[in-house]
């Protein structure tokens, strides 16, 4: 009773909050510059390089890393792997935030963002891959919002509405898997129209399949990665089911990731053979391609297998982080490094620091939103009123 109370402000002036606050303020300033001065004010984009880091990272990487939602839901509700049930809500939340931030990032990249609804309301380009991607992303974002809503409804005490949405779980899961299969592969199919611009090692008629398979890899690894971080920073918010499910999720998803990575490695080798591109491996681009193939596909496949065999969750957790980095490298290679590979160096694209600032700003918003939700809503624990369900 004699001790003076700790000032409330000390809880908020943490290093993370200070850094996040600075990033948000800088991001808001760049946002004002972007929407008042145009793309040329804050980017190095041009007619030769119309897609920069906002597409390569915010869209292509963001959509891939948000695939944990459909991967986990399919495993639990379609394939009946109920032992992974504790991972469903965190994965759905991560997927929902990921897709929401992808749509936010598109507003920065599109020259006239207020025309984003045009494909649906004014001029339907139903023969365009971009229309299919836009339609599937918009529909899947809606599906993710509905799948996430039971947690918010439990928090708000909306029992009847929550019961109605829960009855739709299987239907939403099937619909979500269908939409994800379509737009994950279609993002890769966008590059089929640029065979002369994309380096032959990365260009392939199988690139839609590559994008879909790597989305599964990204989803599995992202669930493991997010699970590890949640157990470190939000352990006090977890109930016994989520605490006990950590190793089950890591071992199960790690085993699946090892198999999918191994399959992807052999498919990539078959793709090189089918297109007869072996001679490019002796070039500088070939050396970098081998770094991606061996260092970010074969190596994590082996390390996942070792971690699962030894039941070593530390190895699995670090391998997941390395695999997530490999997805980033792959998407950057396709969209930035190997794109316009024939242009001289002075005409190649390199992002403006403000482009990087906006990407960091968007990621920071996602982290802050995730923290806000998991500390208030039943994401990492079962709500006492619904434990029986």
Residue 28 belongs to a domain:
no
Alpha carbon distances (Å) from 114 to 109, 133, 134, 200, 342: 12, 18, 15, 36, 35
Answer whether residue 23 is part of any domain. Answer: no
pLDDT of residue 387: 58
Domain that holds residue 208: 49-380
In a domain, residue 18? The reply is no
Instruction: Give pLDDT tens digits along the chain (389 positions).
Output: 444 444 445 577 888 899 999 999 999 999 999 999 999 899 998 887 888 999 999 999 999 999 999 999 999 999 989 899 889 999 999 999 999 999 999 999 988 888 888 877 777 667 777 888 888 889 999 999 999 999 999 999 888 899 899 999 999 999 999 999 988 999 999 999 888 899 999 999 999 999 999 999 999 999 999 998 998 899 888 888 788 778 899 999 999 999 999 999 999 999 999 989 999 999 999 999 999 999 999 999 999 999 999 999 999 999 999 999 999 999 999 999 999 888 888 788 899 999 999 999 999 999 999 999 999 999 988 878 775 55
* pLDDT at 3 (0 to 100): 47
388 belongs to a structural domain = no
Our count of domains for the chain comes to 1
pTM (two decimals): 0.91
Residue 31 lies in a domain: no
Look at residue 15 and tell me if it is in a domain.
no
Q: Is residue 1 part of a domain?
A: no
Q: Could you tell me if residue 20 is inside a domain?
A: no
Q: What pLDDT is recorded for position 358?
A: 96
């Amino acid at each position: 009773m004699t001790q003076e109370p700790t000032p409330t402000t000390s809880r908020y002036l943490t290093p993370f909050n200070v850094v996040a606050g600075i990033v948000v303020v800088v991001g808001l300033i760049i946002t004002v510059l972007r929407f008042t001065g145009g793309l040329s004010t804050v980017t190095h984009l041009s007619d030769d390089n119309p897609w920069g880091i906002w597409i390569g990272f915010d869209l292509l990487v963001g959509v891939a890393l948000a695939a944990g939602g459909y991967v986990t839901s399919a495993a639990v509700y379609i394939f009946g792997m109920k032992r992974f049930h504790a991972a469903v809500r965190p994965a759905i939340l991560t997927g929902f935030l990921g897709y929401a931030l992808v749509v936010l990032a598109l507003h920065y990249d599109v020259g006239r963002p207020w025309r984003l609804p045009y494909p649906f309301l004014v001029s339907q380009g139903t023969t365009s891959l971009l229309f299919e991607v836009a339609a599937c992303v918009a529909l899947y974002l809606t599906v993710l919002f509905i799948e996430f809503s039971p947690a918010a409804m439990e928090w708000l005490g909306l029992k009847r509405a929550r019961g109605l949405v829960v009855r739709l779980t299987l239907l939403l899961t099937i619909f979500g898997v269908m939409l994800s299969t379509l737009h994950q592969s279609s993002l890769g199919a966008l590059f089929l129209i640029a065979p002369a611009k994309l380096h032959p090692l990365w260009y392939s008629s199988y690139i839609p399949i590559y994008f879909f398979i790597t989305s599964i890899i990204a989803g599995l690894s992202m669930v493991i990665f997010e699970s590890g971080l949640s157990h470190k920073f939000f352990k006090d918010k977890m109930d016994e089911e989520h605490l006990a499910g950590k190793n089950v999720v890591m071992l199960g998803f790690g085993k699946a990731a090892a198999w999918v990575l191994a399959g992807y490695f052999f498919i990539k080798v078959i793709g090189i053979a089918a297109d007869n591109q072996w001679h490019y491996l002796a070039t500088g681009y070939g050396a970098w391609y081998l770094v991606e193939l061996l260092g970010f596909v074969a190596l994590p496949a082996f390390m996942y297998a070792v971690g699962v065999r030894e039941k070593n969750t530390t190895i699995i957790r670090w391998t997941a982080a390395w695999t997530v980095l490999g997805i980033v490298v792959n998407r950057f290679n396709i969209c930035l490094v190997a794109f316009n590979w024939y242009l001289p160096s002075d005409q190649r694209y390199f992002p403006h620091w403000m482009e990087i600032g906006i990407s960091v700003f968007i990621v920071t918003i996602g982290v802050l939103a995730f923290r806000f939700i998991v500390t208030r809503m039943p994401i990492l624990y079962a709500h006492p009123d619904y434990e029986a369900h």
